[in-house]
Amino acid sequence: MRLQEQGEVSQNNLGRKLDMKPATIHGIAKRLEKRGLIASRRSPEDQRLILVALTSVGQKLAKELRQYSEAASAKTMTPLNKSEQKTLKSLLDKLVVE
Protein backbone atom coordinates (compact mmCIF):
# COMPACT_ATOMS: atom_id res chain seq x y z
CA MET A 1 0.00 0.00 0.00
CA ARG A 2 2.96 2.31 0.58
CA LEU A 3 3.85 2.25 -3.11
CA GLN A 4 0.26 3.02 -4.02
CA GLU A 5 0.36 6.06 -1.76
CA GLN A 6 3.82 7.31 -2.69
CA GLY A 7 4.29 6.35 -6.31
CA GLU A 8 7.87 5.71 -7.42
CA VAL A 9 10.30 5.55 -4.52
CA SER A 10 13.80 4.24 -3.94
CA GLN A 11 13.96 0.63 -2.82
CA ASN A 12 16.05 1.62 0.22
CA ASN A 13 13.64 4.38 1.23
CA LEU A 14 10.72 1.96 0.98
CA GLY A 15 12.61 -0.55 3.11
CA ARG A 16 13.26 2.09 5.78
CA LYS A 17 9.58 3.11 5.84
CA LEU A 18 8.61 -0.55 6.29
CA ASP A 19 11.41 -1.14 8.83
CA MET A 20 13.05 -3.80 6.66
CA LYS A 21 16.72 -4.53 6.12
CA PRO A 22 18.07 -3.78 2.63
CA ALA A 23 18.56 -7.47 1.81
CA THR A 24 14.99 -8.24 2.85
CA ILE A 25 13.38 -5.47 0.80
CA HIS A 26 15.60 -6.38 -2.16
CA GLY A 27 14.38 -9.98 -2.12
CA ILE A 28 10.75 -8.95 -1.77
CA ALA A 29 11.10 -6.42 -4.59
CA LYS A 30 12.62 -9.05 -6.88
CA ARG A 31 9.74 -11.46 -6.20
CA LEU A 32 7.13 -8.74 -6.78
CA GLU A 33 8.86 -7.74 -10.00
CA LYS A 34 8.84 -11.36 -11.25
CA ARG A 35 5.07 -11.46 -10.60
CA GLY A 36 4.62 -8.25 -12.61
CA LEU A 37 3.39 -6.24 -9.64
CA ILE A 38 6.22 -3.69 -9.56
CA ALA A 39 8.76 -2.29 -12.00
CA SER A 40 12.24 -1.16 -11.07
CA ARG A 41 14.82 1.06 -12.72
CA ARG A 42 18.04 2.85 -11.85
CA SER A 43 17.70 6.47 -10.77
CA PRO A 44 18.88 8.80 -13.55
CA GLU A 45 20.34 11.15 -10.91
CA ASP A 46 22.11 8.47 -8.85
CA GLN A 47 22.77 5.15 -10.56
CA ARG A 48 23.29 3.48 -7.17
CA LEU A 49 19.59 3.91 -6.34
CA ILE A 50 16.96 1.48 -7.54
CA LEU A 51 13.54 3.07 -7.98
CA VAL A 52 10.43 0.91 -7.68
CA ALA A 53 6.81 1.61 -8.59
CA LEU A 54 3.61 -0.37 -8.96
CA THR A 55 2.73 -1.58 -12.44
CA SER A 56 -0.85 -1.29 -13.67
CA VAL A 57 -1.39 -4.88 -12.48
CA GLY A 58 0.08 -3.97 -9.08
CA GLN A 59 -2.11 -0.87 -8.85
CA LYS A 60 -5.21 -2.91 -9.61
CA LEU A 61 -4.31 -5.50 -6.97
CA ALA A 62 -3.52 -2.78 -4.39
CA LYS A 63 -6.92 -1.19 -5.03
CA GLU A 64 -8.68 -4.54 -4.55
CA LEU A 65 -6.72 -5.27 -1.38
CA ARG A 66 -7.52 -1.81 0.01
CA GLN A 67 -11.25 -2.51 -0.49
CA TYR A 68 -10.97 -5.79 1.42
CA SER A 69 -8.95 -4.10 4.15
CA GLU A 70 -11.46 -1.29 4.54
CA ALA A 71 -14.36 -3.76 4.66
CA ALA A 72 -12.59 -5.85 7.31
CA SER A 73 -11.84 -2.73 9.36
CA ALA A 74 -15.44 -1.58 9.16
CA LYS A 75 -16.68 -5.00 10.26
CA THR A 76 -14.19 -5.08 13.14
CA MET A 77 -15.34 -1.65 14.34
CA THR A 78 -19.09 -2.42 14.36
CA PRO A 79 -19.24 -3.29 18.10
CA LEU A 80 -17.96 0.23 18.90
CA ASN A 81 -20.02 3.40 18.75
CA LYS A 82 -18.78 6.30 16.59
CA SER A 83 -17.00 8.01 19.48
CA GLU A 84 -15.21 4.80 20.46
CA GLN A 85 -14.24 4.16 16.83
CA LYS A 86 -12.75 7.66 16.59
CA THR A 87 -10.80 7.16 19.83
CA LEU A 88 -9.48 3.77 18.75
CA LYS A 89 -8.44 5.09 15.33
CA SER A 90 -6.64 8.01 17.00
CA LEU A 91 -4.78 5.65 19.35
CA LEU A 92 -3.83 3.30 16.51
CA ASP A 93 -2.60 6.23 14.42
CA LYS A 94 -0.21 7.11 17.25
CA LEU A 95 1.34 3.65 16.96
CA VAL A 96 2.09 4.07 13.26
CA VAL A 97 5.51 5.61 12.79
CA GLU A 98 5.87 7.60 9.60
**Domains, in order of start, for the chain:** 2-95 (1.10.10.10)
pLDDT of residue 1: 58
pLDDT of residue 43: 92
pLDDT of residue 7: 83
The mean per-residue pLDDT over the stretch 4-26 comes to: 88
pLDDT of residue 97: 60
Identify the sign of the CA torsion 35, 36, 37, 40.
Answer: positive
Kindly give, in sequence order, each residue whose CB lies less than 8 Å from that of residue 11, ignoring residues fewer than 6 positions away: 22, 25, 26, 29, 40, 49, 50, 51, 52
The mean per-residue pLDDT over the stretch 8-13 comes to: 91
pLDDT tens-digit series, residues 20-41: 998 999 999 999 999 999 999 9
pLDDT tens-digit series, residues 46-97: 999 999 999 999 999 999 999 999 999 999 999 999 999 999 999 988 887 6
